[in-house]
């Protein structure tokens, strides 16, 4: 790849949705800030009740984060992400969970295909060989089944539909008609990217999953809901798709 084809000075907007993450959010944000990239960090507090709000306000005053946004009522992860996307001014957007499951040191490698103008979106896959904590078998099976079903509708060959690390060009992400309020965001954004004809790459990442005792929130109910979301977001395309679809390449 010739150097003039690259975009070396990209600004990465990191959106951190947070709900009752007082135990981990500061450590997570400090890890993000330490990444050697140009960063804009936006944290969306989704009406936490455990002191997360006060921690975030303090970190905002310290300059550790660029913007803190508070929801007055709990609206869900997808709604928090949409709030962050609306406020994003970087060239590329990624979501960083406020827990310690995903390692921000993977972000520079994930940004490379977009920086090289080879991709419109990059997924960090937990199942392509990166180091990961050994945890729940049925979570793994559920994710593989959901990924397979999503791929059947989108005609993509992704290995990790539910990964948090999805880097997307901001101009494209802001155009996508997103509406999911909870964990359906992962299914919806994948469907919309496929419908937009986005160029998607996957890169291996590390993963240190949490147990439920450590604060993991997603449950089997969210898995069953994802089945409905796969049908909903792939079979029903809102509005005039030509308005947000990329030119064929």
Sign of torsion, CA 78 99 230 138? negative
Are the beta carbons of 71 and 82 closer than 8 angstroms?
no
For the chain, percent of residues with pLDDT exceeding 90 = 71
What strands lie across the sheet with 67-70, from one edge to the other? 67-70, 38-45, 11-18, 92-95, 166-169, 121-125, 200-204
At residue 122 the predicted structure's pLDDT band, cuts being 50, 70 and 90, is very high
pLDDT at 1 over 70: no
Q: What is the pLDDT of residues 56-103, one digit of tens each?
A: 999 999 999 999 999 999 999 999 999 999 999 999 999 999 988 899
Mean residue pLDDT of the chain comes to: 89
The pLDDT of residue 102 is 93
pTM, two decimal places: 0.88
Q: What class has domain 3-236? A: alpha beta
- Structural domain spans, the chain: 3-236
Residues 75 and 177: their CA atoms lie apart, in Å, by: 18
The pLDDT of residue 243 is 78
pLDDT at 188 over 90: yes
pLDDT at 40 over 70: yes
Q: What is the mean pLDDT of residues 169-179?
A: 96
pLDDT at 154 over 50: yes
pLDDT at 211 over 60: no
């Amino acid at each position: 790849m010739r150097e003039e084809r690259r975009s070396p000075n990209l600004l990465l907007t990191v959106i951190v949705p947070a709900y009752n993450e007082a135990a981990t959010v500061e450590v997570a944000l400090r890890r993000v800030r330490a990444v050697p990239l140009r960063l804009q960090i936006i944290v969306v507090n989704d009406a936490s009740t455990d002191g997360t709000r006060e921690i975030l306000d303090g970190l905002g005053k310290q300059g550790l984060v660029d913007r803190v946004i508070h929801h007055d009522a709990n609206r869900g992860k997808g709604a928090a992400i949409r709030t962050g996307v609306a406020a994003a001014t970087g060239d590329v957007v990624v979501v960083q969970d406020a827990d310690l499951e995903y390692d921000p040191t993977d972000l520079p490698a994930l940004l490379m295909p977009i920086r090289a103008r080879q991709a419109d979106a990059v997924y960090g896959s937990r199942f392509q060989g990166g180091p990961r904590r050994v945890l729940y078998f049925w979570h793994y099976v559920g994710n593989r089944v959901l990924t397979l079903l999503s791929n059947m509708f989108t005609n993509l060959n992704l290995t990790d539909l539910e990964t948090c690390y999805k880097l997307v060009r901001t101009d494209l992400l802001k155009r996508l008609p997103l509406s999911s309020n909870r964990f359906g965001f992962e299914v919806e954004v994948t469907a919309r990217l496929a419908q937009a004809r986005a160029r998607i790459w996957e890169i291996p990442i590390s993963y240190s999953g949490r147990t439920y005792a450590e604060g993991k929130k997603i449950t089997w109910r969210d898995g069953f809901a994802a089945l409905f979301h796969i049908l909903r977001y792939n079979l029903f395309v809102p509005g005039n798709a030509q308005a947000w679809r990329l030119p064929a390449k």
